[in-house]
Chains A and B, each alone.
Chain A
Amino acid sequence: MADRTFPIEGTLDLTPAHVHEHTWLEVLHEWVTTVDHKKLGIMYVLYGFFFLLVGGAEALAIRVQLAEPNNHFLSPEVYNRFFTMHGTTMVFLVGMTIIFGFANYLVPLMIGARDMAFPRLNAFSFWMTAFGGLMLYYSFLGGSGLYGVGNAPDVGWFAYAPLTARAFSPGNATDYWALALIVTGVGTVGTAINVIATALSMRCKGMTLMRMPLFVWLSVVTSGLTLVTITPLTAAQIMLVIDRYLGGHFFDTQAGGSAVIWMHFFWIFGHPEVYVLVLPAFAIANEIIPVFSRKAIFGYPAMVAASVGIAFVSLGVWAHHMFTIGMTSVSNAFFVLSTMLVGIPTGIKIFNWVATMWGGKIRFATPMLFLTAFVFQFLLAGLTGIMLAVAPWDWQLHNSYFVIAHFHYVLVGAILFAIFGGLYYWFPKATGRMLNETLGKWNFWLFFIGFHVTFDTMHFVGMLGMPRSIYTYEADRGWGHLNLIVSIGAFIQGISVLIFTTNLLWSAFRGKVAGNDPWDAWTLEWAAASPPPVYNFPTEPSVSSRRPLWDLKHPEDPDWKYE
């Protein structure tokens, strides 16, 4: 029988390492100068989580404002800033950072590497993203705009021209938006390059491309997509800065420029960006669902192909955000069809997840609860997406709360649920302690209920005709009660996130000690200690199947015989 230990041959020094009490300044110095992918990954996630709380607070303020007709909880100016900052924060400072945090932490561990391909570039990228976010939020204090000093960006997260022209957005609040996002964009591209180089060039022995965990595969696809989506946004923002600072005319309709071309450029970024965010959610699902179903992932090659397919198709669908601008019917038809095409690879994925669960011994621990909800909520989000892909339907509901409900179903119902699941799943690896399961159950059920109260109801508000981005509404519109329900649901989600925060803090110090492999999982990261030492693995691992730990745990029945 094979040796099932992870052995270091030679003398075993089991005396604990010399423990040195660090002052807080030393600890700070260590974290600021670190180039370790695990520390950077944790910082990414914490940073993203902090902004999740900030963006969430903005959302709650917006929901209070909209809870009843003719409300004046916020001033109209602050309302505009809040919905702009809410969108910008959640996409660029929360979504992007948390997913890259996961990729940073997990990709090297999963492929059996010591660190990322470019550790210093990794640190640089993180700090660019971090400083970009701080710069964006500094505008609340230092920005100036139409309403004087202390003016955050208020042009919507898509910053449509010509509202962003100097004439309509005086001051520099809009510049804060463009410049800060250029800064975070540099960081994002840096990390994307790093992830691809790591996954391609740092794999341990035997880790062929078709043996890489699906998480790594999807991180590579996400990063590749990032390379070609963030950069068009950066380009468009450079044009915007040229317009605003140097008197250029890119989006200046007075001088023959086009406002529509901004929409094209923005959505060439904006649509694939959704996939940049959701592919990591798929990645998390691909790791968690098999482990908690106690089965290998169904259709691994199909999953890889579907992910690559989604990435390519997503580059050709952007104008479905623009059905109402009056394109030719040929363009309309093209973008209707290409958008519907996305349904095929995503359908394959949902099918594969369900088939993975089929017949499995499912354990509904908190990570699995979140991921089960993820599968069904993502399916619903996809279905409303197909509804909106039909141009005439979109003409009816464009810019209504139906659209808001649809994309929040993706961003919250799919992505945030997967992120929560991922945090519960990998927290033990990063800290050595389990997150509390009781609080986790409360976290899940409250979030689940709150989510559905809010966003299911929001579809109806939208179909009743409530447009997005409006400050308030008259009582006779008949949206009042529904909006109140939406707002109540938002607060239930808020409470749930607070429970999670408590859980995070409490468990980091008092949680149950996890051990190396608390979930009885199969990928390489669970072969390292919890938390892993700086060097991850004392000796370079070597694998011969997609589930190296399965092979070790079941030497009589290893995977490599069948792959």
Chain B
Amino acid sequence: MSEEKKSGSHVETIHLPAPTAWPIVMAFGLMLVFAGLVTNIGISVLGAILALFGAVGWFRQVLPHEAHEDVPVVVERVVIETARRQVERIVVDEHHREHFPLETYPILSGIKGGIAGGIAMIPPALLYGYLSHHSIWWPVNLLGGAGLANWHHPSTADIAHFYWGGLAVACAIQAVVSLLVGLLYGAMLPLLPRHPIILGGIIAPVLWTGMIHATLNLINPVLDSNIAWGWFLVSQVTFGLVAGWVVSRQEKIQTAQSMPFILRMGIEGSGLTQEQDDEDHKA
């Protein structure tokens, strides 16, 4: 469509589609076809004829070759420059957003903490079972029993007895939940990374114990009536303290916050490496 005639390196004329009246004729004809429906059928006929002429004329414009006109190029020197030579950067103080930490623990540390906490909460649970119900299998069955379909109304003796099934299910639940909670912990760390032990060890366990306590008698009243909430809290806090302690011993990594704000938010692509550029220029 835009094959240019060139003489040397200089474009003299440019091929452009030639002006034509056929489209307007066709449009007018088509409009008349419709207008005839509300006025007089004769107008529709006239419109159809016009539209047909327009279509044929248009067709002959395009086939076999598109009608072109050669427009001479008026050479003009277009200068593209700006009066604003100075490129300013948006300067943001490095500590402008201090509440977003510059360093945090990696997510993996949360998972490690979850595993450690999951193991650490077993002794208090067993201790509770032994002290209150003289059977360490009591808490195991409470947890594992939830996974056994045929446990509807177990007697106290049933819960205190040892079952392979209960142990297996309890271990599986304990492992999966510990991992998931650890993962969640790790994911939350960048938001609140400064005091992992207070957050993970005390605040979070107390909060979720409260939440479970408040809702469990609606969800599962039988389970609710079998839980000693004091001991439950103790085991949760144990989990949290151990998990938090494990996390706090991990290496911290840098967050994206240590990059300039402009880079993080994609506000300005250019000029991020201005300082280096400047140095390059000096060098």
Contact between chains at B80 and A552 (CB < 8 Å): yes
Contact between chains at A176 and B16 (CB < 8 Å): no
Partner of A557, one of B79, B80, B90, B270: B270
Contact between chains at A4 and B80 (CB < 8 Å): yes
Contact between chains at A8 and B270 (CB < 8 Å): no
- Chain A residue numbers with a CB within 8 Å of B1 are 114
CB nearest to B18 among chain A residues: A35
Interface locus among A157-165, A292-300, A489-497: A292-300
Q: How far is the CA of A17 from the CA of B13 in the complex (A)?
A: 14
CB nearest to B89 among chain A residues: A359
- Chain A residue numbers with a CB within 8 Å of B266 are 298-299
Known: A32-B24, A128-B31. A517 touches B77 (CB 8 A): no
Residue A236 lies at the interface, judged by CB distance under 8 Å to chain B: no
- Chain A residue numbers with a CB within 8 Å of B31 are 128, 131-132, 134-135, 183
Residue A9 lies at the interface, judged by CB distance under 8 Å to chain B: yes
- Interface bracket on A: 35 or more
- Chain A residue numbers with a CB within 8 Å of B268 are 295-296
List A residues 212-226 near B (Cβ within 8 Å): none
Contact between chains at B26 and A35 (CB < 8 Å): no
List B residues 9-56 near A (Cβ within 8 Å): 9-11, 14, 16-24, 26-28, 30-31, 34-35, 37-39
Contact between chains at A8 and B34 (CB < 8 Å): no
List A residues 267-300 near B (Cβ within 8 Å): 294-296, 298-299
Closest beta carbon of chain A to B163's beta carbon, Å: 46
Known: A119-B17, A535-B71. A186 touches B267 (CB 8 A): no
- Chain A residue numbers with a CB within 8 Å of B281 are 556
Contact between chains at B35 and A135 (CB < 8 Å): yes
Residue A24 lies at the interface, judged by CB distance under 8 Å to chain B: no
Contact between chains at B17 and A561 (CB < 8 Å): no
Residue A5 lies at the interface, judged by CB distance under 8 Å to chain B: yes
Known: A172-B38, A557-B270, A562-B270. A538 touches B87 (CB 8 A): no
Closest beta carbon of chain A to B170's beta carbon, Å: 41
Known: A7-B77, A124-B26, A520-B83. A358 touches B270 (CB 8 A): no
- Chain B residue numbers with a CB within 8 Å of A119 are 17
Q: How far is the CA of A47 from the CA of B27 in the complex (A)?
A: 16
Residue B62 lies at the interface, judged by CB distance under 8 Å to chain A: yes
Q: How far is the CA of A552 from the CA of B79 in the complex (A)?
A: 10
CB nearest to B92 among chain A residues: A359
CB nearest to A179 among chain B residues: B34
Chain B interface residue count, Cβ-Cβ cutoff 8 angstroms: 58
Known: A120-B61, A355-B265, A557-B270. A12 touches B75 (CB 8 A): yes
CB nearest to B263 among chain A residues: A562
Q: How far is the CA of A533 from the CA of B268 in the complex (A)?
A: 34
Contact between chains at B34 and A183 (CB < 8 Å): yes
- Chain B residue numbers with a CB within 8 Å of A299 are 266
- Chain A residue numbers with a CB within 8 Å of B274 are 557
Residue A326 lies at the interface, judged by CB distance under 8 Å to chain B: no
Residue A11 lies at the interface, judged by CB distance under 8 Å to chain B: yes
Chain A 85-100, CB-CB to B under 8 Å as 1, else 0, gives 0000000000000000
Contact between chains at A6 and B35 (CB < 8 Å): no
- Chain A residue numbers with a CB within 8 Å of B226 are none
Known: A179-B37, A187-B27, A299-B266. A34 touches B19 (CB 8 A): yes
Contact between chains at A131 and B270 (CB < 8 Å): no
Known: A33-B20, A128-B30. A549 touches B80 (CB 8 A): yes
Contact between chains at A33 and B24 (CB < 8 Å): yes
Q: How far is the CA of A557 from the CA of B84 in the complex (A)?
A: 13
Known: A4-B81, A535-B71, A553-B80. A559 touches B19 (CB 8 A): no
Chain B interfacial positions (CB closer than 8 Å to A) = 1-2, 8-11, 14, 16-24, 26-28, 30-31, 34-35, 37-39, 58, 61-62, 71-85, 87-88, 90, 265-272, 274, 277, 281
Can you list the 8 inter-chain pairs with the closest CB atoms, starting with the nearest?
A10-B10, A562-B269, A127-B27, A124-B23, A131-B31, A6-B78, A123-B23, A33-B19
Taking A5-B80, A12-B77, A557-B277 as known contacts, 18 extra A-B pairs with beta carbons closer than 8 A to each other, sorted by chain A number, are A4-B79, A7-B77, A8-B73, A11-B75, A120-B17, A120-B62, A134-B31, A179-B38, A180-B34, A296-B268, A298-B265, A516-B78, A520-B82, A533-B71, A538-B76, A557-B271, A557-B274, A559-B269
